[in-house]
Chains A and B, each alone.
Chain A
């Protein structure tokens, strides 16, 4: 399913993290751009970039579960919500610093992930999907109705994040923290994919019985996939909570879960780069939609209350388009372009 490297020429090259010098150069340029961004861009762009970085972390987490291990989840946003609320409650009610609440959010989400993972040892496909769906609805319900702790739909106000006693500026210091964590997550996931664990997960995805036969402990690796995925989601949720400053149950609904699945599909399932590109694409999409729906609603005021339909339709069409015509996602398009130019003027 996931062919990540078309253009490698040797095993040595394949086992390196960065297969070529040009890849290193590209990443260096990207790093410079990311570091320079807060000095040149406005607050809104920095905010969107931070949201994109958080989504990248979340999508990387889901990619481990769905892309590598082939376990389908419609409850990813629930894990983000668990992380976000853990961080929010710890920082407001116990005044714990960011450095403690962030790992705590990850660990708590991972614990829940292990619990949700247990039934999946027996369940596959459709059954797993509906179990994660049930988890999603139950978390939504608890967050909404356990008002003593989560404040229901009023939401929780978080303090500004702090690091070693210094308060981080949302549009400067915190941006760097989030982006740095996203980069770390990407590198870890890339390493994971190339390690024994990653390959074992892929083996479980491709044929679990065969994987068991060649000595992969399927149950163990399924739980590991759930734990890694939900830990990452918990971290992403906590970062998102600090970024927004106010969280409510609306941020972690089923639609968000579907959005995360859409991210890894649009980007390219089972690849780190796919998760990154897909997350950025889906974060930028609403900006694009509001850019076109703004003029439409001012041109046709009667249509204005129905403008919400446009964005839903576009999301749906994008999902359908990618699944029908480009199942390898944006990464697939990119690889095709790259291969075309590498072998140019020949076609193969």
Chain B
């Protein structure tokens, strides 16, 4: 086997996997705090990328300022979404909450379509475009920076959850909402907070994804791959989401190249979902998830 090619595929896979990992992390955060999935997360990622693109390319702000403004806007938007749309349904059956987030996803998709249209845009990438050579392995700088920035971000979030008081509040609520409420934790604020943090992570993921692809209204489909990542890692596990995301990214890149001859083109698109079905049959709680499966 050609190991340089293998290495290159793995690195590209890691870059994509970082994006999946970030989106997966945002899913898991909301799942841990509020016990439901937010299916609008890929759309929130897309919205973040579009807002960043507009601020930097249309209003010609410097990248860093644009990025910070994007984060602020996304924080306000996700807080509003949680308070106005999802909060009234707390305690309803899961299907209702899932479907309302799908409704939210549709509204964001429609909004993006109506505002920015359906063509692709070049994202004003902050990373240099010329590729770097490691020996004979060529890697684009956007991908490299994505991997590095994701690693830094994950460390920051790890420290946040472990040591800051807001992080501990969030974990307490995730552990047992009622007990947290009785201990005087403002559960409502934690719910909103989890949405805001998840929205920010998704927006960062969107920035990365856009910088090595394009800004287009199909970005959300790519981010949907975070779901298999969560299943693989375990739904309620933060490091599971990250490792799951990276694994899915690498696997689909390798499968896309090495298995294409045997299984036909496009195999990389469903590698993730085949993995999901296998995991569901063998180990439904994922690699790192807690065993909460009730058997009846």
B36 (CB) vs chain A CBs: closest residue: A126
CA distance A122 to B291 in the complex (A): 12
Q: A interface, how many residues as a size bin? A: 35 or more
Q: Determine if A144 is an interface residue (Cβ-Cβ < 8 Å).
A: yes
Which residues on A sit within 8 Å (CB–CB) of B227?
A: 130, 133
A323 touches B100 (CB 8 A): yes
B106 touches A315 (CB 8 A): yes
B117 touches A134 (CB 8 A): no
Which of A70, A119, A144, A315 lies in contact with B266, CB distance below 8 A? A144
Count contacts between A and B, CB distance < 8 Å.
Answer: 147
- Convert A319-339 into 0s and 1s, putting 1 for each residue whose CB lies closer than 8 angstroms to a CB of B: 110011001000000000000
Q: Determine if A169 is an interface residue (Cβ-Cβ < 8 Å).
A: no
- Convert B35-55 into 0s and 1s, putting 1 for each residue whose CB lies closer than 8 angstroms to a CB of A: 011000000000000000000
B107 touches A127 (CB 8 A): no
- Convert A115-144 into 0s and 1s, putting 1 for each residue whose CB lies closer than 8 angstroms to a CB of B: 000010011111101110111011001001
Q: Determine if A202 is an interface residue (Cβ-Cβ < 8 Å).
A: no
A137 to chain B, nearest CB (A): 4
A145 touches B264 (CB 8 A): yes
Which of A122, A125, A309, A320 lies in contact with B103, CB distance below 8 A? A320
CA distance A133 to B37 in the complex (A): 14
Assuming A145-B264, A319-B103, is B276 touching A134 (CB within 8 A)?
Answer: yes
B85 touches A141 (CB 8 A): no
Known: A127-B293, A145-B264, A319-B99. 11 other contacts (CB 8 A): A123-B293, A130-B228, A134-B276, A137-B273, A138-B277, A141-B273, A310-B114, A312-B107, A313-B106, A316-B104, A323-B100
CA distance A238 to B118 in the complex (A): 33
B172 to chain A, nearest CB (A): 22
Q: Which of A26-34, A224-232, A257-265, A273-281 touches B?
A: A257-265
A131 touches B277 (CB 8 A): yes
Binding site for A on B (CB under 8 A): 31, 36-37, 85, 88-89, 92-96, 98-100, 102-115, 117-118, 227-228, 230-231, 235, 264-266, 269-270, 273-274, 276-277, 280-281, 284, 293-296
CA distance A123 to B111 in the complex (A): 35
B52 to chain A, nearest CB (A): 20
Which residues on B sit within 8 Å (CB–CB) of A157?
A: none
Which residues on A sit within 8 Å (CB–CB) of B94?
A: 72, 125-126
CA distance A261 to B98 in the complex (A): 11
B269 touches A141 (CB 8 A): yes
**9 tightest A-B CB contacts, nearest first:** A316-B106, A313-B110, A309-B113, A319-B103, A309-B114, A312-B110, A316-B107, A320-B103, A134-B276
B264 (CB) vs chain A CBs: closest residue: A145
Which residues on A sit within 8 Å (CB–CB) of B92?
A: 327
A316 touches B103 (CB 8 A): yes
Assuming A309-B114, A324-B100, A327-B96, is B280 touching A317 (CB within 8 A)?
Answer: no
Assuming A134-B280, A209-B296, A324-B100, is B109 touching A316 (CB within 8 A)?
Answer: yes
Which residues on A sit within 8 Å (CB–CB) of B235?
A: 126-127
B275 (CB) vs chain A CBs: closest residue: A134
Q: Determine if A184 is an interface residue (Cβ-Cβ < 8 Å).
A: no
Which residues on A sit within 8 Å (CB–CB) of B114?
A: 303, 306, 309-310, 313
A324 touches B88 (CB 8 A): yes
Which residues on B sit within 8 Å (CB–CB) of A256?
A: none
CA distance A320 to B280 in the complex (A): 30
Q: Determine if A1 is an interface residue (Cβ-Cβ < 8 Å).
A: yes
CA distance A46 to B221 in the complex (A): 35
B100 touches A305 (CB 8 A): no
CA distance A340 to B7 in the complex (A): 71
